């Protein structure tokens, strides 16, 4: 997963505003409203809290602005095979789909994505990593550490992966994800590798570090819901998990705190299947989703971040500080290198699974 990076300053700087994105989107929408009035697009999102969040932020406002009806469906966790089947058979069950960076890269290499037709100047404020000719990032998620505040008090709480590995200074039940993604990075960070020097991953060094913590891992979690339950119930005291899972537990009143330091973030965004007969309407939809005011709305439902950093002008401070791309959190993290994982995922997964069993 992570979260992802090249240059810290570039990630955090906003592009200069060249006008109102809302006006840029609204004008052509009004002009073409009658032409698109009978059009329906199907959007595949991750389901769960995403659906109502995106409905309020994007689907309903887009329908109102353009006359294009939006039907949303929950996509599979890994939609690349379904995506390919649609393009190959020209049977398009949906017209826009959320894709992780790794899924985007796989589909781009297979020439299965339609150009989205958005330039950086069309979306002032958008994170540079959130836009390619074939894809636009819409939310940011991160893998971080969380701990029980009833177990660790302020001033004596873990604040790094080295602390997570330090079982003498910070005793307690621990949990890591049963997956090499992020876990290898965390092992290297615990062993002293700087955040900006992680890639390419030193795999041998990572496993030497993992050997040190393995006897002290009480639960290797395999799903987001499980990770939330583990820390919420107090079954574990420290855990690596996705930020929204931790925030949901905090919002529910559990004595839990997140640690953004050395977090790894990633981006999920919209892709259009190549050859879609409704590609023009889909492109209008994707461009609409770049608007910072629209992106701000989904943060009421999700603890994942807007990719247009201008959205923070419309997000209450109390909520903003819980989100990965808030300036106080983003500067502590790095983006995961999905290109490295795309090239090494199969081999790393095989080795990790064997190591867990060994």
For residue 327, is pLDDT > 70? yes
- The whole domain housing 345 covers 142-265+336-357
- Whether residue 126 sits in one domain with residue 162: no
For residue 120, is pLDDT > 50? yes
pLDDT for 265: 94
330 touches 305 (CB < 8 A): no
- Whether residue 243 sits in one domain with residue 181: yes
Q: CA 185 to CA 1: how far, in whole Å?
A: 10
- The domain tally of the chain equals 2
- Whether residue 136 sits in one domain with residue 206: no
- Whether residue 350 sits in one domain with residue 206: yes
Region 340-348: mean pLDDT is: 91
Residues constituting the chain: 358
Residue 195 belongs to a domain with what CATH number?
A: 3.40.190.10
C-alpha triplet 196, 142, 124: angle, nearest 5°: 85
Q: How confident is the model at residue 216 (pLDDT cuts 50, 70, 90)?
A: very high
pLDDT for 36: 52
190 touches 163 (CB < 8 A): no
pLDDT for 48: 77
Query: Does the pTM exceed 0.85?
Result: no
- Whether residue 341 sits in one domain with residue 234: yes
**Cα–Cα distances in angstroms (integers) from residue 113 to residues 72, 81, 118, 331, in the given order:** 19, 13, 14, 32
- Whether residue 200 sits in one domain with residue 313: no
- Whether residue 277 sits in one domain with residue 221: no
- Whether residue 352 sits in one domain with residue 253: yes
Q: CA 54 to CA 213: how far, in whole Å?
A: 39
- Whether residue 120 sits in one domain with residue 200: no
Q: How confident is the model at residue 244 (pLDDT cuts 50, 70, 90)?
A: confident
For residue 2, is pLDDT > 60? no
**Cα–Cα distances in angstroms (integers) from residue 342 to residues 44, 105, 142, 276, in the given order:** 23, 8, 18, 26
Region 95-104: mean pLDDT is: 92
Domain presence at residue 218: yes
């Amino acid at each position: 997963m992570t979260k992802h990076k090249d240059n810290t300053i570039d990630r955090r700087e906003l592009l200069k505003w060249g006008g109102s994105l809302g006006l840029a989107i609204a004008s052509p929408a009004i002009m073409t409203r009658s032409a698109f009035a009978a059009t329906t697009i199907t959007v595949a999102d991750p389901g769960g809290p995403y659906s109502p969040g995106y409905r309020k932020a994007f689907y309903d406002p887009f329908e109102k602005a353009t006359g294009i009806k939006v039907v949303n469906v929950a996509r599979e966790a890994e939609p690349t095979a379904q995506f390919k089947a649609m393009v190959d058979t020209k049977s398009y069950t949906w017209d826009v789909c959320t894709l992780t960076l790794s899924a985007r890269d796989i589909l781009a290499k297979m020439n299965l994505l339609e150009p989205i037709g958005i330039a950086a100047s069309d979306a002032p404020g958008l994170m540079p990593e959130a836009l390619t000719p074939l894809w636009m990032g819409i939310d940011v998620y991160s893998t971080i550490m969380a701990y029980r505040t009833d177990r660790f008090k302020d001033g004596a709480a873990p604040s790094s992966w080295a602390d997570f590995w330090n079982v003498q200074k910070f005793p307690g039940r621990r949990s890591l994800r049963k997956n090499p993604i992020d876990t290898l990075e965390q092992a290297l960070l615990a062993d002293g590798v700087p955040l900006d020097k992680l890639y390419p991953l030193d795999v041998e060094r990572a496993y030497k570090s993992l050997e040190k913590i393995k006897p002290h891992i009480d639960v290797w979690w395999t799903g987001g819901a499980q990770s939330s339950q583990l820390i919420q119930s107090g079954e574990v005291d420290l855990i690596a998990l996705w930020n929204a899972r931790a925030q949901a537990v905090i919002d529910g009143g559990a004595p839990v705190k997140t640690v953004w330091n050395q977090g790894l973030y990633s981006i999920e965004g919209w892709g259009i299947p190549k050859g879609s007969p409704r590609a023009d309407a889909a492109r209008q939809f994707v461009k609409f989703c770049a608007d910072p005011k629209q992106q701000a709305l989904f943060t009421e439902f999700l603890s994942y971040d807007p990719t247009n950093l201008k959205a923070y002008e419309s997000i209450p401070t109390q909520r903003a500080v819980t989100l990965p791309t808030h300036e106080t959190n983003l500067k502590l993290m790095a983006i995961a290198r999905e290109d490295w994982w795309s090239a090494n995922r199969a081999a790393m997964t095989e080795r990790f699974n064997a190591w867990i069993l060994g």
